[in-house]
Structure 1
Amino acid sequence: MGTIAGRVKGAKPGQKLVLYARGGIWWVQPFTTLPNTEIQPDSTWKSATHMGTEYAALLVDRSFAPAPTMPSLPPIGGKISAVAVVKGGAPETLTSPTLHFSGYDWKVRLLPSDRGGAANPYSAKNAWTDDRGRLHLQISKGADGWECAELSLERSLGYGSYVFVTRDVASLEPSSVLGFFTWDDQGVEENHREIDIEISQWGDPGSKNSQFTIQPYYVPVNVVRYLSPPGQITYSFRWEPGRVSFKAQHGDGLQRGGAVISEHVFTSGVPSPGGEALHMNLYVYGKSRTLQRNGAEVVIEKFQYLP
């Protein structure tokens, strides 16, 4: 992804922009869940975009409903007042910093993401390790609102056991989300090979604060909700052909561990390994992107993978 910006001349009150990037066909930008770009009072606009061979900006009425993809750009007329197209050039190189944790090198996310239904910005300053080797992930206040944290491995680990030892996550605000998940950036097959452990109330303070998930999440049997209590908790999943076994337990599960808080086995819809990588993130859920306190912080004491 990169950044695209410009200026609008002669826009009518209430109009907006819809951006597209061309990669074979035209794809709405920056995300299908966030297809509109606002025009600022000084007539400028700015947005993240996926890279393409061409880029288009459509000046449209507020009621215009953009298509996620198009084989060609629409003509001017009706709700479309203007269309501007530019050729794609060589993108600027954006090198993600690397952070070493639990024996692995992790890429630190710098670009925005729409995970959780909002375009959250991310910052390298929100992920670090302390002198005891523990990983800290943080949500902090930035120039564009709450800035989040995400790390990812550069290679697929595939089938095996993934174990995360956390210090205490029960105090997170309802709109905060801590996630441990696999994700395939390059392929959409098998729902991006996504397997999730997520600690969040998804904005509802009355709901349980944790879940085990295989995708798609909107299939009720693919999500198991449970309550994570205060204190040290070990979250894990064992990924095998046609089977994912999740567990949350008290204490350090890499040592002796304690009583099981919740466990579940999925045997339907389980993805197979491919181009997925392991991610860990902390972000704000929902379009309101609302937190009551001064951000959030979690500590992940250890990560372990066993084939």
Structure 2
Amino acid sequence: MEEQGGEWHCAGLKMSHSLGYGTYRFVIADSTHFPPSATFDMFMRPDHEDPDQRTGFSIALGQGNKADGPNGDFVVQPYYVPGNSVRFNAPVGIMSYVLRWEPGSAAFKGFSGISPTPRGTVKEQVFRSGIPIPSEERVHFNFYDFHHSKSGLRHPVEIVVEKFEYLP
């Protein structure tokens, strides 16, 4: 994210097709340096989705503009349904995030480093309610300012995605 001509510009990309059930893994260099309004969101959802009928999954990194809040969130959409969002604190350093999507289940895991170890696990959560079946969802990466121009961002912010992989 950076400012150009008085406006902040954000980044995003998406896959061209759906991958469906399987294991999705993201390795992130570090996200703890974000100012409170910066958010990196790795999510899966259909492109034509109605905001009132949200489906899909999200691994969000950032504090949601709350300076003292947790800096991570595992979500099964819609996020506003009680129990569909689990916040956690990601530590400094390389973190790996895994989503294992199966019929009736979405298992999330965040761990320090690149290879999982029992002591490196930061947060695990299995959701069994509201799990969509594969259709037209695509993987998206969005890096944005949570409250746009109202946030007070003063410096460019970056995220480094070390790796993304999918295993059926």
Q: Give the shorter-chain TM-score range.
A: over 0.9
Residue pair 2:8, 2:148 contacting (<8 A) in 1 also: no
| TM-score, with length taken from structure 2 | 0.92
Matching residue of 2:114: 252
The one-letter code of the counterpart of 1:205 is A
Displaced runs of 4+ in structure 1, greater than 6 A? none
Matching residue of 1:156: 18
CA distance in 1, matches of 2:56, 2:156: 27
Q: In 2 relative to 1, CA 287–297 (structure 1 residues): closer, same or farther, beyond 3 Å?
A: closer
Tell whether 2:121 aligns with 1:277.
no
**Structure 1 gaps, min length 5:** 1-138
| TM-score, with length taken from structure 1 | 0.52
Pick the structure with greater CA Rg: 1
CA distance in 2, matches of 1:251, 1:176: 22
Residue pair 2:29, 2:159 contacting (<8 A) in 1 also: yes
Matching residue of 1:303: 164
Task: Indicate the structure whose relative CO is greater, using CA pairs within 8 Å and at least 6 residues apart.
Answer: 2
The one-letter code of the counterpart of 2:136 is G
CA distance in 1, matches of 2:31, 2:51: 32
Deviation at 1:183, TM superposition (A): 1.6
Percent identical pairs in the alignment equals: 37
Residue pair 2:30, 2:93 contacting (<8 A) in 1 also: yes
Tell whether 2:84 aligns with 1:222.
yes
Residue pair 2:8, 2:149 contacting (<8 A) in 1 also: no
Q: In 2 relative to 1, CA 155–242 (structure 1 residues): closer, same or farther, beyond 3 Å?
A: same
CA distance in 1, matches of 2:61, 2:139: 16
Residue pair 1:146, 1:289 contacting (<8 A) in 2 also: no
Residue pair 1:185, 1:192 contacting (<8 A) in 2 also: no
CA distance in 1, matches of 2:114, 2:106: 21
Tell whether 2:102 aligns with 1:236.
no
Deviation at 1:275, TM superposition (A): 0.8
Matched pairs, number: 167
Q: Output the aligned Cα RMSD.
A: 1.8
